[in-house]
Structure 1
Amino acid sequence: MLEKIGKYTLHTLSSVYPWTNVYGLARTLLAVSTLLTLLLNDATIFFRPAAGIAEYPNCSYNLSIFCTVPNEYSYLNLIRWLCIGILLLVAIGWRPRITGVFHWWIAHSMQTSALTLDGGEQVSAVLTLLLLPLTLTDSRKWHWENIDAQTQADQVRSGAVLPHIVALLTIVAIRFQASILYLNAAVAKLKQEEWIDGTATYYFLNDSLLGMPPLLIKATEFVLNTSLVVIPTWGTFVAEILLFAALFVPKRYWSYFLFLGFALHGVIAIMIGLYSFSLIMFGLLILYLRPVEQEYRFRSSLKRLRTWSLTRRRRAAPSFDEAH
């Protein structure tokens, strides 16, 4: 009996390899989001007085990387550029076992010490922390590397079972966390009258701080200023409920929910400019709704795109007889 259980466990572990470019792409999106935030904003944007915050950066949490230097903008900008360099290494996929810890440190520091608006830093800090068991057990040089099935099976049979189990449990934990995140977002809306009566989108998109630019407001007046406003308002709620329920749906249907999540956060990015937040949520959605064993075939996709492009050019180019 125990022998059968052992064989079944080894077979299961061999068939689901957690260290693939699926989680690699998610890490890249998380890193690029924070990298762009730091690259496009000076230290004076992140570290300044605010309501209830007299000292800046906020060093009530000693783990912040921004609290390792004197409280002067020249030093803080130096740390900012150091973080950008580290995040670049994370984004290109170098040594997940090393860069995973630094990635979490930077994300945690941004959440606890910097002044930010869109809430993406909190998701990033939690997600990079949850990813640590996965990155620390990843022995690859690049998180884009594909490991063939035979090598995967050999690793499991050679005794590398515990890291494998830890990594798979980490993926499961992240999926539960993502599902709860969307459930919490949906349930919280039920406590606000504007979401119940369907007018919340009007107020959010016309907000002076995080609302749409005037051009988009004018283009969407026929929706925001009429009863049609209930469609995006209740549609957001329904989308979040569906994304929560995706956890309990068979894997073969996950791609539909992944597309729904991308569409939801893509629209949010375009409408109110929360690009860094949406990149982080894209990374979370990939970890949530893309089976880690279904690796992305980037080279095959590029090859198909190149073939399609060449075919279009040949069809568009006039023949010798037509040219003469």
Structure 2
Amino acid sequence: MLKRSRTVPLPWAAGYGLARTLLALGTLGTLVFSDATTLFREVATVGRYPLCQGVNSAGAFCQVSEDHYDAMRWACCLVLVVAASGWRPRFTAIPHAYVAFSVFTGIAIPDGGDQITWILTLLIVAVALGDPRRWHWQPAPPPDSPPSNRRNRWALLGVSALTVARIQMSVLYFQSCVAKLPHAEWADGSALYYWINNYDFGAPYWLRPTLESVVDHPVGVAAMTWGPLILELALAAALLMPQRARWMLLPAGVSFHLCIAAVMGLWSFALAMCAGLLLLLTPLGHDPDFTRMLRRTPRPSAVPAEKKDPVEAPVMAGTQP
């Protein structure tokens, strides 16, 4: 009997580590720049946050009295700083996910960024628990020789979790695009005129004159309204595209969310979505090798730079006579 095996890329690379850092920084910004009186307050028809009911009662802020919300807030910030640094992802992934859950379920002003952060950090736990590296910035570890069944199982679990995260992001962009289409303002191309001039989420005063000069023109406002719909639809279909097309979509998607952050001030949302874009558009096991970039090791000019392939681990799939 001849053994037949298949390979999967090792998921423990600096690419997914950068996504972890962005997710942690987004939540960290929410906790650092918002005090307890802003985060935990009465919401009309709902009640006073945190709402310690059902599953939500497991959140960190439900474990302390109101007088200690600030102390717990800074304790969560410490967890997020450690997670963002990339140290020992195997040990910091679960605390990071717990803080993301506590913020999403506990604060009175959550947004879509907090929700996607919680979902992605939970999925990343399945990746990080098998990560043997000290820092998630380090290159992917070499495959075991001979292959280790334990590492192969962790690699398969991690790749499966990242695949679910990619599908989640694809569905998110598809739903975001399709949900806008029934509204007349999005269909006729005028929606961004109202968003730019909105007093709560509109453009800041220093940016308003420039954007108003664009949205006051029919072609300008139509381009600003329909452009995001086209981009969201392309991102939703990214998994069906070749990798070269995904690389071209990555800067477009990141720029799109940074523009939203600059106009509407949704920076934690932008960081969460940029992390999701990295998981969606980069190859599984992508390793940009940040340690080499930081060392600035010069490459010989006579040797062309080659794209680094993801490290793969064999996974036994069955036998064949």
Q: What secondary structure does 1:94 align onto? A: coil
- Report if the CA contact (8 A) 1:56-1:71 is conserved: no
Tell me the distance in 2 between the aligned counterparts of 1:268 and 1:24. 24
TM-superposed deviation, 1:263: 1.5
**Aligned twin of 2:307:** none
When structure 1 is superposed on structure 2, of 58-67 and 176-185 the one drifting more is: 58-67
Q: What secondary structure does 1:18 align onto? A: coil
RMSD: 2.0
Give 1:1-324 correspondences, 5 Å limit: 3=3, 5-6=4-5, 9=6, 12-13=7-8, 16-60=9-53, 61-72=56-67, 75-116=68-109, 118-148=111-141, 151-154=142-145, 156-157=147-148, 159-227=150-218, 228-302=220-294
TM-superposed deviation, 1:139: 2.5
- Report if the CA contact (8 A) 2:24-2:96 is conserved: yes
Tell me the distance in 1 between the aligned counterparts of 2:276 and 2:104. 17
Q: What secondary structure does 2:206 align onto? A: helix
Unaligned runs of 5+ in 2: 300-321
Aligned sequence identity (%): 37
Could you say which structure has the higher strand fraction?
Answer: 2
Could you say which structure has the higher helix fraction?
Answer: 1
Unaligned runs of 5+ in 1: 308-324
Q: What secondary structure does 1:146 align onto? A: coil
Structure 2 CA distance for partners of 1:305 and 1:141, relative to 1, 3 Å? closer
Structure 2 CA distance for partners of 1:155 and 1:91, relative to 1, 3 Å? farther
Tell me the distance in 2 between the aligned counterparts of 1:226 and 1:305. 50
TM-superposed deviation, 1:27: 0.2
Tell me the distance in 2 between the aligned counterparts of 1:143 and 1:114. 29
Q: Give the TM-score taking structure 2 as reference length.
A: 0.87
- More RCO (CA 8 Å, sep 6+): 2
Structure 2 CA distance for partners of 1:201 and 1:305, relative to 1, 3 Å? farther
TM-superposed deviation, 1:266: 1.5
| Runs of 4+ residues over 6 Å off in structure 1 | none
TM-superposed deviation, 1:298: 2.6
Tell me the distance in 2 between the aligned counterparts of 1:208 and 1:306. 51
